[in-house]
């Protein structure tokens, strides 16, 4: 602090002086020329009266912004290690990320969370963690671990664990489930933020949910839903990820009066999108192109998330704040020219200095355990003429609950009907080798032959497989087990493309470029056998999420989310 004060007073030179910047002030919305004096990792002063530095960078009129803060991310969905994610995010101006590690927690519990905490602690990008509230998300599936209220209380005491992650089990809150309420109380007692997760919840139910302590929501899909949640005091997290894209529909809800309660989040971001579109800078570009004032957009990417999560040492260019900064060419394209983290340049023109790669222990790398499959593993009989079918909604993680006629073979067994795009889907429990297999039907994937399988299946991450033939489905699942997690395309008994994800069956040890290349080959192989979605594996990964309406599937069977229960395959 002594050195900080001395630099701020001008008694000694700044360690780093940024000259000729156009500073974006997120407190006032102003943009003006100023120099910035940095002492160690902190901003000492902002003003043109600072002209002396041990090191000087002339920004030549470029715009100087606070480093971007991603307010909600599941790192596992990028398929990348923390070091590899940081390498790309820093190049795009992101300096702080709030992680919800409930994907790896559902596979490995606290040891999985600890693996991410340990592997991120020395990186030049700040990873903060929210304690996963829903492990498992519901009792309607089998997870690899369970976190009780006592576990949450312990996690909340760890450094860099700053709050309670999205409480997806909103029916549990409304039904006053004791264990759910204990987790909420544990966070309240420590005075830490609580994230909500309440898609389509409205009226009295939403009031009760907010009254319990929920402070934010990233599941709004339309203006009316967003406005209702803002009016009840929730922070509005505007999500634009690889799976769910809500920014365009939610921006009309943002006004000068409520923008200070809104922030940008990515939620689930694939490595390809991170490589080719960017991180939070992509959301800034999109929001401004849709008419949002640039200064407001920048506030939503910096100051607002810092205030929402109580990270008051960052998020603005002001004395006493961390020198986490992004330099951009203009406020339309937000091309990041330079990223400064803690007073040090960590990225120039999209290039980041090499980062330390962390090794994971054998338990993290050997997480796929399934009971051997046989010819009857995917057998399914129908006692009525029609069945419930999961209907895929393009570019959304919501699904439809359809009643459709089903095709059977000469033995009365249900089979896939590629002509009508009604395909067999199965979820195989992969944590305890219990032999659980949930079987159903899905419409909207479009396969004409073969099978697709993945071990990335929210939230419990059992293996999900969709196919035209039972034989190809079986082959695909066995390949997933062989790789200890990943994605695979099988056609007529032959593996056409695959990607190994050995870290908890969720993440790769490869670079983002390698992962993106293999994903492209997977999606091309999937298209060759008829897949309709641009990324069918991403679509499949959310068909198992039993907290997002309307119809989903787990290893225990079909889930009617509105009724929050397993339902029979047959429809009357």
Is residue 540 over pLDDT 80? yes
Is residue 375 over pLDDT 90? no
Q: Look up residue 289 and give its two tokens.
A: 């192109």
Task: Indicate the SS3 state at residue 420.
Answer: helix
Tell me which DSSP letter residue 449 carries: S
Place of tokens 């209220």: 149
Q: Look up residue 17 and give its two tokens.
A: 């002086």
Range of weakest confidence among 63-77, 358-372, 387-401, 516-530: 358-372
Q: How far is CA 321 from the centre of its chain?
A: 27
How far is residue 334's CA from residue 189's CA, in Å, rounded to a whole number?
Answer: 40
Q: Look up residue 102 and give its two tokens.
A: 């409930």
According to the model, what pLDDT value does residue 282 have? Answer: 98
Q: What is the mean pLDDT of residues 107-131?
A: 95
According to the model, what pLDDT value does residue 137 have? Answer: 79
Angle at 138 between CA 137 and CA 144, to 5 degrees: 65
According to the model, what pLDDT value does residue 355 have? Answer: 75
Q: Measured over all CA atoms, what is the biggest interatomic distance in the chain, rounded to whole angstroms?
A: 90
How far is residue 417's CA from residue 378's CA, in Å, rounded to a whole number?
Answer: 15
Residues 6+ apart with CB under 8 A from 287: 247, 251, 264, 297, 300
Whole-Å CA distances, 280 to 18, 57, 79, 316, 354: 23, 25, 18, 16, 22
Is residue 69 over pLDDT 70? yes
Is residue 511 over pLDDT 70? yes
Domains defined along the chain, listed by start? 67-312 (3.20.20.140), 364-571 (no CATH)
Is residue 196 over pLDDT 90? yes
Angle at 185 between CA 181 and CA 188, to 5 degrees: 140
Strand spans (E) along 432-522? 437-443, 451-454, 463-467, 486-491, 494-500
Tell me which DSSP letter residue 546 carries: T
How far is residue 461's CA from residue 541's CA, in Å, rounded to a whole number?
Answer: 8
How far is residue 255's CA from residue 68's CA, in Å, rounded to a whole number?
Answer: 21
DSSP string, 139-175: TTS--S----HHHHHHHTTSTTEEEEEEE--HHHHHT
How far is residue 320's CA from residue 474's CA, in Å, rounded to a whole number?
Answer: 59
Whole-Å CA distances, 396 to 112, 219, 220: 28, 11, 12
Task: Indicate the SS3 state at residue 519.
Answer: helix
Strands 399-405, 386-392: pairing is antiparallel
* pLDDT per residue as tens digits for the range 324-337: 999 999 999 999 99
Residues 6+ apart with CB under 8 A from 62: 20, 21, 22, 327, 328, 329, 337, 338
Confidence of residue 358 (pLDDT cuts 50, 70, 90): low
Place of tokens 């499949």: 540
Q: Burial of 215 by CB count in 10 Å (0-12 exposed, 13-18 middle, 19+ buried)? A: middle
Residue 570: count of CB within 10 angstroms of its CB: 15
Strands 16-24, 31-39: pairing is antiparallel
Global pTM? Answer: 0.91
Q: Find the Cα–Cα–Cα–Cα dihedral 46, 50, 52, 57, rounded to 10°.
A: 50
Q: Look up residue 313 and give its two tokens.
A: 């040492």
Tell me which DSSP letter residue 78 carries: G
Confidence of residue 357 (pLDDT cuts 50, 70, 90): low
How far is residue 7's CA from residue 1's CA, in Å, rounded to a whole number?
Answer: 10
Q: Which of 247, 285, 276, 248 is nearest to 263 (CA)?
A: 247
Average pLDDT for the chain: 95
According to the model, what pLDDT value does residue 415 have? Answer: 95
pLDDT > 70: what percent of the chain? 99
Q: Which residues share a beta bridge with 257? A: none
Is residue 57 over pLDDT 80? yes
Q: Which residues share a beta bridge with 53? A: 14
According to the model, what pLDDT value does residue 484 have? Answer: 97
Helix axes 82-91, 512-528, angle to 10 degrees: 100
Task: Indicate the SS3 state at residue 452.
Answer: strand
Q: How far is CA 200 from the centre of its chain?
A: 19
């Amino acid at each position: 602090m002594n050195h900080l004060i001395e630099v701020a007073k001008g008694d000694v030179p700044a360690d780093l002086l940024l000259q000729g910047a156009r500073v974006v002030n997120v407190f006032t919305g102003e943009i003006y020329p100023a120099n910035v004096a940095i002492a160690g990792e902190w901003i000492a002063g902002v003003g043109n009266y600072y002209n002396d530095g041990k090191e000087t960078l002339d920004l030549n009129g470029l715009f100087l912004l606070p480093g971007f803060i991603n307010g909600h991310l599941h790192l596992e969905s990028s398929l990348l290690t923390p070091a590899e994610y940081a390498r790309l995010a820093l190049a795009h101006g992101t300096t702080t990320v709030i992680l919800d590690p409930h994907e790896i927690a559902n596979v490995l519990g606290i040891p999985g969370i600890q693996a991410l905490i340990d592997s991120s602690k020395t990186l030049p990008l700040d990873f903060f963690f929210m304690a996963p509230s829903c492990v498992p998300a519901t009792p309607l599936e089998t997870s690899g671990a369970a976190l009780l209220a006592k576990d949450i209380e312990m996690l909340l005491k760890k450094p860099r664990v700053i709050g309670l992650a999205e409480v997806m089990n909103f029916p549990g809150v409304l039904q006053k489930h004791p264990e759910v309420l204990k987790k909420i109380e544990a966070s309240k007692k420590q005075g830490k933020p609580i994230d909500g997760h309440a898609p389509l919840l409205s009226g009295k139910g939403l009031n009760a949910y907010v009254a319990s302590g929920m402070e934010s929501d990233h599941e709004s899909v339309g203006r009316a839903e967003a406005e209702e949640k803002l009016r009840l005091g929730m922070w509005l997290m505007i999500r634009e990820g690889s799976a769910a894209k809500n920014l365009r529909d939610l921006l009309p809800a943002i006004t000068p009066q409520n923008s200070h309660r809104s922030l940008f989040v990515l939620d689930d971001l694939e490595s390809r999108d991170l490589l080719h579109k960017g991180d939070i800078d992509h959301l800034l570009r999109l929001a401004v192109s849709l008419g949002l004032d640039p200064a407001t957009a920048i506030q939503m990417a910096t100051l607002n998330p810092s205030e929402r999560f109580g990270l008051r040492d960052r998020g603005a260019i002001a004395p006493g704040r961390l020198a986490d900064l992004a330099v951009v060419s203009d406020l339309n394209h937000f091309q990041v020219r330079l990223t400064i983290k803690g007073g040090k340049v960590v990225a120039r023109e999209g290039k980041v200095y090499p980062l330390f790669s962390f090794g994971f222990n054998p338990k993290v790398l050997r997480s796929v355990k399934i009971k051997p499959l046989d010819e009857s593993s995917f057998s399914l009989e129908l006692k009525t003429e029609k069945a419930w079918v999961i209907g895929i909604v393009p570019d959304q993680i919501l699904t439809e609950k359809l009643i459709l006629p089903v095709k059977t073979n000469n033995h009365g067994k249900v089979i896939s009907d590629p002509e009508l795009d009604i395909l067999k889907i199965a979820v195989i429990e992969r944590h305890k080798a219990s032999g659980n297999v949930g079987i159903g039907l899905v419409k909207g994937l479009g396969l004409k032959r073969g099978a697709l399988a993945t071990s990335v299946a929210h939230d419990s991450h059992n293996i999900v497989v969709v196919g035209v033939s039972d034989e190809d489905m079986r082959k695909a699942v066995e390949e997933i087990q062989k790789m200890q997690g990943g994605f695979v395309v099988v056609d007529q008994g032959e593996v056409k493309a695959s990607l190994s994800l050995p870290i908890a069956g969720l993440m790769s040890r490869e670079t983002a470029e390698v992962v993106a290349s293999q994903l492209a080959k997977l999606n091309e192989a999937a298209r060759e056998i008829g897949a309709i979605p641009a990324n069918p594996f991403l679509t499949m990964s959310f068909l198992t999420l039993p907290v997002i309406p309307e119809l989903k599937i787990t290893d225990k069977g079909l889930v009617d989310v509105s009724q929050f229960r397993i339902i029979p395959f047959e429809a009357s």
